[in-house]
Every structure is written in C-alpha cells, then in structure tokens.
Structure 1
C-alpha cells in the first residue's frame, strides 16, 4: 500500500514542524486573538468606522504610497548593485555582500537615530551643503515623508538585494553570449534575455520590501516625528493611548489582508511568467 506521505516528504515535514508550531503560537496566536476582537465577536463597527472615516483612508493611502516608493527606490538601487555583485570576482563579491549585510549588525533603533543626526536641520547633510554654498537655509529632510523613505530604504535595501542577486547568479552567461552571437544589441540582450530571467527575484524582493515597509513602525515614528502616520503607528496609538482594541484589531486585519494581496499578486505574476516561458 502506497503511503499518503512519502518517506522523504515525511522527514522534511518533521524537520519544519517544530518551527511551524513555534511560529503559529508566537505569531499567529496573538494575531488571531486580536482579530477575534472584531471578526470573532461579530462586531463589525470598527470596520464601518474605518470605511466611513476619511482619516483612516488617508493613513492607509499614505502607507501604501510610502511602501510603493520605498520598494521602487530599493529596486532601482538594488538591481545594478546586485548585477555588480553577481558578475564581480568572488573576493569583491564577498566584500560587497558584507557591506550589504552591515545594517543587520546594528539595531534598527540605533540606525534610525543615526539618520536623525544626519538629516536634522543642523545635521551633517545640511551643514555640509550650507558649508559648500549649495543651499542658503536648511532643507527639511526629517519629520516628513522624505525622511521616512530615506530611513526605510536604508533598512530594507538588503531585502531587495539578496533575492535579485540570487536570481542573477542563476542566469547562465552562455545565454547572453548566444544572443550577442545572433546579433542582439546590449539593450536587446538585457530586455529579452537577462531581465526576464531575473524577474522572479525582482518580484520576490519587491513583495518582501513592500510588505515590510507597509508595516513599518520605528522609522515613521522617529523620522516622521508624528507628522507621518502609517498603519502600524495608528495601531499602536489605538492600543496604548485610546485603548480601542477592536479598532486596532480591524486595522491589523486590514494590513494583513493587504500583505496577502500583494504576495498573491506577485505570485500570480510570477506564475504567468513561468507559463509564458
């Protein structure tokens, strides 16, 4: 009789099962408890409040805008950097990857405070620009959307680099050589050969950066200075200041649905790319 689960699959499932249990208890348990304040109890007033209040729509739209801009900027920075790392000598690539990993060796809070020192009205950047005579007065680089995006891009750039870098390392260089041999231009090789082969990494990195930036809290709280409110900041405000747990649960459901929607959309696009190939 053929077993329902092959032996190899069973062993792999046994290896990941403890991690899945811990993840379910630590992460999904509190999230389910928070969701039960609205969905489980049948109280849909918080959702109606979110739907009917333009303030919440403004916060959600602003969060999506910041997440989209962060993802696009990270992609524009990560793609050429990943190409350099994928085509460089092993020693140079190892050094470059170490620099990419460098932000992970420092606390997010410390990195954000460092950006506050750099971006402040009397910070290093404004002082340097004024010393060079490029500006007459300090530029507002903090306590606005610009500062939040700068800090978020710095934090999330590695999350874009590594998926794109991994996709580029899997590209066979002989394919480009064959395209050049058939008379293709550099732009033609990139557009028709290299870019399609690296799109999986691009989509994976974009989805990862978008989802993480959509739920960012520390960077908007410090570099936004209370003037830039994202969904996570609004949830914290509802829980700690207003004690409105049902509304916080509804906002948590909204951000979770948005994350799953982005992930599903990227998976759908990637699947269609595979089907087209």
Structure 2
C-alpha cells in the first residue's frame, strides 16, 4: 500500500495568470463580444460580403487567370505606352481637379463661417444641390453649356469677346470643369466642419498680441483647419481617380482616364482579365494612398468624425 501511494505523482498546480494576461484576455473578449444588439449588423455584413467582398475576390482572381494564369495582364498594362499614358493622365487630372477644388472650396467654406445664419443656410443649399441631381443629368447639362454653340460661347461671341467659338468640350479644361463642380461639395463640407470648430477668439488673441489680421489668418486659422483640408483633399483625389461618366461625356480620346479604359476593355474588346487587372490596380492605388495619408494625418478621425 505504501509503495502504491509513493508511485502516485503529486497534483500539478497551474500558475495563476499574470495581470497583463488577464487584461489581454478581457480585451479580446470585449473585441469579439456579441450581444443581441450586434445581431442588427448581420444583414449589413452579409450584404457587404455578397455584393462587395465576393466580387472583389472574383475580380482579383480573374485578373490573374483570364486568359492565362500569371501576371500577363499586369505586364500588358505597362508594356504599352498607350495604357501608361492613360494612367499618367488619370493621376494628372485627379491632382488638377483636387487643387482647383481646394482653391475654390476653401474660400467658400471660410465665407460660410463669416456670414449671417440666413446667408449660411443659402450657401449650404447651393453647395448641396449637386447631391440632389444625378451626375448624368449634370454632365449632359454641361454639354449644352460648353459646346461650340453652347451658352458660354454664345455669350462671349455676342459680347464681342470671341470672334469664333472656343473649343471647350472634348478638351482637358472641359473635363476638369465638369469634375470640379461634382467634387466641390466633398471639399467644402469637411473644411467647413473643421472651421466651425475653431474658436474665433484665437484669431482675435493673435491680433491683440500684435499680429495683423492676415497674419493671424495664416498662422492661426489655416493650421487649425488643416484636418478638414486633409479630409476634403483625400476624398476629392480618391474619387477623381475613378470618375467615368463626366470624363466620358466631356472629354475626348486624348483625355481618357482609367475608368473609361476599363469600360472600353469590357464592352468593346471583351478583355475581361485585362480590365480586371486595371480595376485591381486602381483599387490597390486607392488603398496605398489611404495608407500613406494615415501616416501623415489621422484618417480615421477626419473621415469618421472621431475626436
């Protein structure tokens, strides 16, 4: 009996978890906690999974498998100077639209902070009108406005400013003009939101300390509105990269952007794999820009409105 008891191993004592491990487990449980209210998000998650995630995965797969398995579609993009020129033109147009939109949107948002509530409401309605009108309708309206026999050329010729119609339609300025009027709300609204949170007494304090009004504006007000400028610039540039309807209607073959090239490859040439590669390239570029921007500014805060 004594020999049998001696052969029994002593019970092993499990060490108590450290406070750091307990805290980490609680964080994981909190992150993956699921209650009754969380069930309300399930329809949206299923919707996004079926109509967003699945098509993107299929798009990526097609870019590597159609017509052959490999990187042939991506090599074809950079092997032809025509496609490279389209990519360069896309970034040039998007950057130009962003700069022009910022130059127009920042003063507009600043004036909104200075005027009376009545005028502010009117200016807000004016800037929100594009949201209430179809992009296709606005683009066709711009064709009527910008064509050789359109409103602008007719007024200029009747006033004696021009002797003959100035070509605006099917040109790069026409594309930029159309894209700017669509992107303007996305620039103005974030900038105005950041400007409204700035205490006007800060500029008055700078002037009381001996600075000029213009100096107080550039040294105090403009830096404090930088978050809104970053948000508006990011939204405008990312959207401008993927514009299709406006460049297709207002531009010409020399001003083709990547969105037009994708549609052309799908509907005319039937190169679905190549079009998928172009779409994946545009998607990767967008995510890369967001990643770079997150290194400079707090993208989550300026886009989601978090403090």
Fold shared per TM-score above 0.5 = yes
**SS of 2:166 mapped into structure 1:** coil
Cα distance change, pair 8–130 in 1 and its aligned pair in 2 (3 A): farther
Aligned to 2:286: 259
8 A Cα contact 2:64 2:273, kept in partner = no
Q: Deviations over 1:188-214 (max 9, x none)?
A: 212221111111111111111111111
Cα distance change, pair 120–173 in 1 and its aligned pair in 2 (3 A): same
Within 5 A, what are the aligned runs for 1:94-109? 94-109=121-136
8 A Cα contact 2:65 2:273, kept in partner = no
Cα distance change, pair 20–40 in 1 and its aligned pair in 2 (3 A): farther
Pairing partner for 1:219 from 246, 249, 274: 246
Within 5 A, what are the aligned runs for 1:121-140? 121-140=148-167
Is 1:148 matched up with 2:172?
no
In structure 1, the gaps of 5 or more residues are none
**SS of 2:255 mapped into structure 1:** coil
**Count of residue pairs brought into register by the alignment:** 273
In 2, the alpha carbon distance for the partners of 1:186 and 1:16 equals 50
Aligned to 2:263: 236
In 1, the alpha carbon distance for the partners of 2:255 and 2:91 equals 13
Pairing partner for 2:222 from 180, 195, 203: 195
Q: Deviations over 1:84-141 (max 9, x none)?
A: 1123222221111111111111111110010000100010100100110001111111
TM-score for both structures, normalised by structure 1: 0.91
Q: Deviations over 1:212-251 (max 9, x none)?
A: 1110000011101444210010001111111111111110
8 A Cα contact 1:164 1:198, kept in partner = yes
In 2, the alpha carbon distance for the partners of 1:194 and 1:9 equals 44
Deviation at 1:34, TM superposition (A): 1.1
8 A Cα contact 2:171 2:255, kept in partner = yes
8 A Cα contact 1:204 1:266, kept in partner = no
In structure 2, the gaps of 5 or more residues are 1-21, 302-307
8 A Cα contact 2:194 2:225, kept in partner = yes
In 2, the alpha carbon distance for the partners of 1:156 and 1:14 equals 36
Cα distance change, pair 8–48 in 1 and its aligned pair in 2 (3 A): closer
**SS of 1:5 mapped into structure 2:** helix
Is 1:168 matched up with 2:195?
yes
Is 1:73 matched up with 2:96?
no
In 2, the alpha carbon distance for the partners of 1:237 and 1:153 equals 24
Aligned to 1:34: 59
Between stretches 180-189 and 76-85, larger displacement belongs to 180-189
In 1, the alpha carbon distance for the partners of 2:225 and 2:37 equals 28
